[in-house]
Amino acid sequence: MGIGVLLLRLAVGLTMAAHGAHILLGWFGGRPIHETAPLLEALGFVPGRSAVIQSGLAQIGGGLLLTLGLATPAASALLVAVMLVATVSAHLKNGFFITSGGYEYTLILGVAALSVAFSGPGPLSIDSSLGFSFAGPLWGLGALAVGLTGGGLQLLRRRVAATGQS
């Protein structure tokens, strides 16, 4: 079980951290903040610069914490929140499959991060090394509740365009 959870944490955590660096720092072929900000403003996140910074920090921070298995429920909650916002604001209207810009990918990343909150980070984690036992239904449900609340609050702050786009 330790290797399986470690592989899941590495795949999801490093993917999320890389995406955060992509949008926040322009790494891996990303754009600088001043070019990414208008894209988020078009989705209703005003000011766009602040939205890029918040999203990038949540993705980098949550991704690195998940990768390390440190404060795992908090890491999972951050990533659930970010993936909820991305799903609702950019992908839901396009259907399920990513080939059409749908929410398939964001759903998988969010659920994978959440699954680690339920299962725990495993024995090959900093949480385990420190003697913390963050695993089980309460930790998973707590991460889900915090993630949905955090993402929901960001979505409530969003200004939807006059076209009625959601």
The structural domains of the chain, with segments of one domain joined by +, span: 2-157
- At 67, the pLDDT band (50, 70, 90 cuts) reads very high
Please, are residues 78 and 150 in contact by the beta-carbon 8 Å criterion? yes
Q: What is the pLDDT of residue 91?
A: 97
pLDDT exceeds cutoff 90 at 80: yes
pLDDT exceeds cutoff 70 at 164: no
pLDDT exceeds cutoff 60 at 166: no
Please, are residues 123 and 2 in contact by the beta-carbon 8 Å criterion? yes
Mean pLDDT of 8-24: 97
Residues 6+ apart with CB under 8 A from 101: 90, 91, 94
What separation, in Å, do the N-terminal and C-terminal C-alpha atoms of the chain show? 40
Mean pLDDT of 69-90: 98
Residue ranges in the chain assigned as alpha helix (H): 2-24, 33-42, 48-68, 72-86, 104-119, 126-129, 137-157
User: pTM value?
Assistant: 0.92
- At 162, the pLDDT band (50, 70, 90 cuts) reads very low
Please, are residues 70 and 127 in contact by the beta-carbon 8 Å criterion? yes
Of the chain, the percentage scoring pLDDT greater than 70 comes to: 95
Of the chain, the percentage scoring pLDDT greater than 90 comes to: 94
Q: What is the pLDDT of residue 159?
A: 82
19-48 per-position pLDDT tens digit: 999 999 999 999 999 999 999 999 999 999
Euclidean distance between CA atoms 160 and 5, whole angstroms: 38
**3-state class (DSSP) for residue 68:** helix
**3-state class (DSSP) for residue 93:** helix
91-125 per-position pLDDT tens digit: 999 999 999 999 999 999 999 999 999 999 999 99
Euclidean distance between CA atoms 104 and 52, whole angstroms: 22
pLDDT exceeds cutoff 80 at 163: no
Q: How far is CA 26 from CA 111, 122, 130, in A?
A: 26, 32, 34
How does the average pLDDT of the chain come out, rounded? 94
Neighbours of 114 (CB within 10 A): 22
Euclidean distance between CA atoms 129 and 134, whole angstroms: 12
